Chain A
Amino acid sequence: MADENWVTVAKRSAINPGDVLGVTLGEREIALYDLDGAIYATDNLCTHAFALLSQGWLDGEIIECPLHGGRFEVKTGKGLGPPINDDLKTYPVRVVGEDIQVKLD
Chain B
Amino acid sequence: MNVAARHILIVGAGHAGGVAAATLRQTGFTGAITLIGGEAHPPYERPPLSKELLAGAIPVEKTYLRPLAFYTENGIAFRPGETAVAIDRAAQRVELANGDTVPYDALLLTLGARARRLALPGADHPRVLYLRDIVDSLALREHLNTGARIAVIGAGFIGLEAAAVARKHGAAVTVLEVQREPLQRVCAPEIGRFMATLHRRNGVNLRTGVAVVAIEEKGGALEIRTADGETVAADIVLAGIGAQPNVELAHAAGLAVEDGIVTDEFGRTSDPNVFAAGDVTRHFNPLLGRKLRLEAWQNAQNQAMAVAKVMAGGDRPHAEVPWFWTDQYDVNLQIAGAPKRWDDLVWRGGPDDKAFTVFAMQDGKPVAATTMNNGREMRPAREMIARGRAVDPARLADAKVKLQDLARET
Contact = CB atoms under 8 A, between A and B. Distances in A.
Nearest to B45: A83
Contacts of A83: 45, 297, 301
> Contact residue range for chain A?
10 to 19
Interface string B355-378: 000000000000000000111111
A85 B66 contact: yes
A83 B404 CA distance: 23
A68 B48 contact: no
Given A49-B48, A82-B19, A83-B45, A66 B378 contact: yes
Nearest to B332: A67
Interface residues of B, number: 22
Q: Name, among A57, A65, A69, the residue most crowded by chain B CB atoms within 10 Å (CB to CB).
A: A69
Contact of B375 (A56, A59, A85): A56
A66 B301 contact: no
Contact of A82 (B305, B374, B377, B379): B305
Given A49-B52, A50-B52, A82-B305, A64 B379 contact: yes
Interface string A32-64: 000000000000000001110001110100001
**Majority SS at the chain A contact face:** loop
Contacts of A51: 332, 375
A49 B297 CA distance: 14
A57 B379 contact: yes
Interface in B325-345: 325, 327, 332
B375 A67 contact: yes
A85 B301 CA distance: 14
Interface of A: 49-51, 55-57, 59, 64-69, 82-83, 85
Given A59-B379, A68-B325, 9 more contacts: A49-B48, A50-B52, A56-B376, A65-B375, A66-B332, A67-B325, A67-B327, A68-B297, A69-B378
Interface of B: 19, 45, 48, 52, 66, 297-298, 301, 305, 323, 325, 327, 332, 373-380, 404
